[in-house]
Amino acid sequence: MRVLFYLPVVTSWWFDNIVEPLIRCVASVAEVHVLAPAPWRNTGLGPAELGRCVDLPNVHWAIVDSGDHASLRTVPADREGLIAYVRSLAPDLVLCRSADFDTPQAFPGVVRYIMEAVTAPFDLVSPANTVHFTEAPFVNGFLPTLPDADAARLDALIAPAWADMQAYWREACGEREDVFRVLGLDTGRPAFLLPLEYEHEENFYLQHRPGSRSSRELVAQAAAAVKGIGTLVVTDHPLNAQHVDRDAFYDFLATLDNVVLVEDPVWDTPPTIALARHVDGALLHDSKSFALAAAFGVPMRRHSRFASAPWLHDGAELSAFVRAVAAGTAMRPEEAMVRRWFGYHLANEAFYPTDPTLTGAMVIDRAMRPVDPGRWQAGIGRVQFRNPLVEDAA
Does one domain contain both 99 and 198?
Answer: no
Preceding omega of 121 cis (within 30 degrees of 0)? yes
> 64: Cβ–Cβ under 8 A, 6 or more apart, which residues?
35, 36, 37, 38, 72
Write down the pTM of the prediction: 0.95
Residue (of 261, 207, 267, 208) closest to 237 by Cα position = 261
Asked, for residue 376, whether it belongs to a domain, the answer is no
Tell me how far apart the alpha carbons of residues 336 and 152 are, in angstroms, rounded to a whole number. 11
Answer yes or no: is 360 within a domain: no
The pairs formed by 181-189 with CB atoms below 8 angstroms and a separation of 24 or more are 182/266, 183/233, 183/260, 183/262, 183/266, 184/260, 185/231, 185/233, 185/260, 186/231, 189/229, 189/230, 189/231
Is residue 7, in this structure, part of any structural domain at all?
A: yes
Which residues, including other chains, have CB under 8 Å from residue 202's CB and lie 6 or more apart? 9, 11, 41, 42, 43
Q: Which of 338, 353, 384 is the last residue of a domain?
A: 338
pLDDT for the residue 387: 59
User: Do 279 and 182 belong to one domain?
Assistant: yes
d(CA 318, CA 57): 54
Parallel, antiparallel, or unpaired for β 31-37 and 60-64? parallel
Domain final residue, candidates 338, 363, 385: 338
The answer to whether position 243 is within a domain reads yes
Asked if residue 393 belongs to a domain, the reply is no
- 41 and 164 part of one domain: no
Where is the domain boundary, 338, 358, 383?
A: 338
Clarify whether residues 215 and 258 are in a common domain.
yes
Q: Are residues 295 and 152 in the same domain?
A: yes
* 358 within domain boundaries: no
Residues 167 and 308 in one domain: yes
CB 277 within 8 A of CB 173: yes
What is the span of the domain harbouring residue 95?
2-116
- Number of independent structural domains in the chain: 2
pLDDT along the chain (394 residues), means of 10: 99 98 98 99 98 97 97 97 99 98 98 96 91 97 98 98 95 96 95 97 94 89 97 96 94 95 94 97 97 98 97 98 98 99 98 97 98 97 71 45
| 234 and 105 together in one domain | no
- In this structure, the answer to whether residues 223 and 104 fall within a common structural domain is no
What gap in Å lies between CA 333 and CA 318, rounded to an integer?
17
Residues 316 and 172 in one domain: yes
Same domain, 64 and 175: no
CATH number, domain of 22, equals: 3.40.50
- For residue 155, being part of any structural domain is answered with yes
Residue 269: partners with Cβ closer than 8 Å, 6 or more residues away:
169, 172, 173
Residues 164 and 78 in one domain: no
182 within some domain: yes
Residues 212 and 329 in one domain: yes
pLDDT score of 393: 43
